[in-house]
Amino acid sequence: MATPFKTFKLPDLARLDLELFQAILAQADLGHVPAASEMIRAVSEKSSGTDGPAFFSINVREHLSLCLAASIWARAWSTLDKGTLHVHAWIDNSSSVSRANKLAASNVYAQELNRHLALAQAVNRLYVTAGHMAGVRNEMADCGSRSLAEPFKSRHSVHVQADVRRFQDAALATSTHERYNAAWEQWRTWREHRRQSPWLSKEEREQTDELVQYVLHLRDGGNSAATFRSKLYGIAWRHQRHGWYTVALAPDHRLVLRGMERDDGATR
């Protein structure tokens, strides 16, 4: 390694972040990583004229893991030292190692990835190098290229979902949790009396029809528009949290809800 560049070792706590990052990568669940989604979009647009399966090989996917890491964490790394920081990656794919060190490749996808890698280094004052780690020594192989094989595929799928749900829970205050749980129980009871499942269809119009009926039921019971808006939030959150899909009123009915709130007058 070149001596002018400072080197640091990631702490043990960073291993959990790396495992989650690699598991998300392996499942192509990049919606949880905004910077990754933006980078994938840019690469796809620049390479839209190529044969995807032929060019987007395992070698490119291995290189993608390094480039994504640099793109996502470059700003955080750059604050660790005022000078140029040396980041050294260990990869169990020799093609990716060569592409990272030389910033050169014949593969069109790898070329675009190298452009992003070079830009991240220039903007954030980083010096990124890579070394080859033999597969037999790679303790995290199950988190990377081999994670699509069982039993790791199922294992990581559970881990990613559990972590996402934990973060979703942490996003709500305790008082909000209690209010949403109460709203869900009231909704579930009402649906059971109608012999209907509390879980709504994924079709927006069907969702809206069911939710509007519930809103009218709440209004007949003396609830204000602000109150049943809060209860709708609780229903939507439970669907997002446990059903992994979004529930909401259609735009025209959201306008009706806004009109109800104005009709109720100012809160006293």
| Number of domains comprising the chain | 2
What is the band of 10 on the pLDDT scale with cuts at 50, 70, 90? low
Helix (H, G, I), strand (E, B) or coil at 13: coil
Higher pLDDT, 208 or 147: 208
Same domain, 15 and 91: yes
Same domain, 148 and 182: no
Query: Could you identify the residue written with the tokens 């980041």?
Result: 87
pLDDT reported for residue 251 = 82
pLDDT exceeds cutoff 70 at 43? no
Does 68 map to a domain?
yes
Higher pLDDT, 43 or 18: 18
Higher pLDDT, 11 or 215: 215
pLDDT reported for residue 246 = 85
Does 229 map to a domain?
yes
pLDDT reported for residue 34 = 55
Residue 237: which domain range? 173-264
Does 107 map to a domain?
yes
pLDDT reported for residue 190 = 95
Same domain, 93 and 159: yes
Measured between alpha carbons, how far is 70 from 127 in angstroms, rounded to an integer? 10
Alpha helices by DSSP H, the chain: 14-26, 34-46, 52-55, 58-78, 94-102, 108-124, 152-170, 174-193, 204-220, 225-238, 251-264
Same domain, 24 and 157: yes
Average pLDDT value for residue range 49-75: 74
Q: Which of 10-14, 83-87, 115-119, 166-170 has the highest mean pLDDT?
A: 115-119
Same domain, 106 and 11: yes
pLDDT exceeds cutoff 90 at 235? yes
Same domain, 148 and 215: no
Does 1 map to a domain?
no
Same domain, 253 and 126: no
Listed residues 163, 182, 207: the one ending a domain: 163
Same domain, 55 and 130: yes
Q: Which amino acid is at 17?
A: D
Q: Per residue in 113-167, pLDDT tens?
A: 888 899 888 888 888 899 887 765 555 554 555 555 666 666 666 666 677 777 7
pLDDT reported for residue 81 = 64
| pLDDT over 70, % of the chain | 66
Contact 85, 125 (CB under 8 A): yes
Q: Which amino acid is at 175?
A: S
Does 168 map to a domain?
no
Alpha helices by DSSP H, 13-93: 14-26, 34-46, 52-55, 58-78
pLDDT reported for residue 187 = 95
Same domain, 72 and 185: no
Listed residues 163, 197, 223: the one ending a domain: 163
pLDDT reported for residue 142 = 46
Establish how many alpha carbons lie within 13 A of residue 203's alpha carbon, considering only the half-sphere containing its beta carbon: 4
Tokens of 164: 């996402």
Q: Would you call the peptide bond into 151 cis, given omega within 30 degrees of 0 as the criterion?
A: yes
Same domain, 28 and 142: yes
pLDDT reported for residue 268 = 46
